[in-house]
Amino acid sequence: MFKDMDIMIYRDSLESIVLKGKLEPGDFSLRGDVSSQFVSGMLFVLPLLNGDSTLTVTGDFQSQSYVDMTVKVMEDFGVTVRREGDTYFVSGNQAYKPIDYEVEGDYSQAAYFLAAGALAGRTEVLGLNHSSIQGDKEILRILEKMGAKVNRIENGYEVEQSKLRALDIDISDTPDLAPVLGVLLSLSEGTGKLMNCDRLRYKESDRVQSTIELIRSLGGEAEEEESSIVIKGRESLRGGHVYSFNDHRIVMAAAVASLRCTEPVKIEGFEAVKKSYPEFFRDFEKIAR
């Protein structure tokens, strides 16, 4: 896309990328089945251009909830965006306005602790907005559908250990939940699927492969079937050596799985967790004692 606008992007060294050229307003299009981050990035910059623009998402628009959050934040900071179907209309010459802003608790990170409660005891996760539009809030509905006891409490949620039932889960709009959902299915009664997994291949790792390898390395059963991951549940996992694939979500999912393993779990490359949650293991120890 940028090449068509005479914008040059090249690597200057291992640590730096050089961009040359000026982004002009216009009509843009991006595929919706690769990464919602590309869409969010363009939306953030379009109001700052000196004219009106449109951004059309082509193909299968996945992870829409993440883009919805982007638009909500833009509006909170004084910028207007209009959507019709899969096209966003953005007026130029706008400006973001400074405000006092309270950042919500992150449901994608909370998911690991909520899942831990369903598998091994009881956890309370605080700082979660009950009315949040975060797509990964879907973890609550999935846990309830699997049979977990989910209680709404002041400023968050409580989840109690329950006997879980496997089911088929469409993760097209919540791909970041895939590894921990894979762990939950591996420790449920029956066989379930993570469906519409194609976009998982474009994450920090190929999460189709890394999620399957995570489950297998702990003694579980998982296999790829077209665009799905099929997982056979069991009462517990064996434990063992897990390779992180330098993927923070694989690390955190492995930690959750360890709560129901009969042997210790060793995570090679656990440092990858620093990308999104540097203090994860400090917090995880609070529920793993």
Supply the DSSP string of 234-288, one letter for each residue: -S-B--EEEE-TT-HHHHHHHHHHHTTBSS-EEEETGGGGGGT-TTHHHHHHHHH
Query: Of 4, 33, 168, 176, which is the active-site residue?
Result: 176
Q: State the residue for tokens 């690390």.
A: 251
Question: Which segments within 85-167 are labelled E, that is strand?
Answer: 87-90, 122-126, 149-153, 156-160
Q: Which helix (H) or strand (E) holds 70?
A: helix 64-76
Q: State the residue for tokens 């009509």.
A: 27
Handedness of CA 97, 106, 274, 210 (dihedral sign): negative
**Burial of residue 75 (number of CB atoms within 10 Å: 0-12, 13-18, 19+):** exposed
Give φ, ψ of 212 to 5 degrees. Answer: -60, -45
Supply the DSSP string of 153-216, one letter for each residue: ETTEEEEE----B--EEE-TT-GGGHHHHHHHHHTSBSEEEEE--GGGGGSSS-HHHHHHHHHH
Judge whether 176 counts as a catalytic residue.
Answer: yes
Catalytic residues: 176
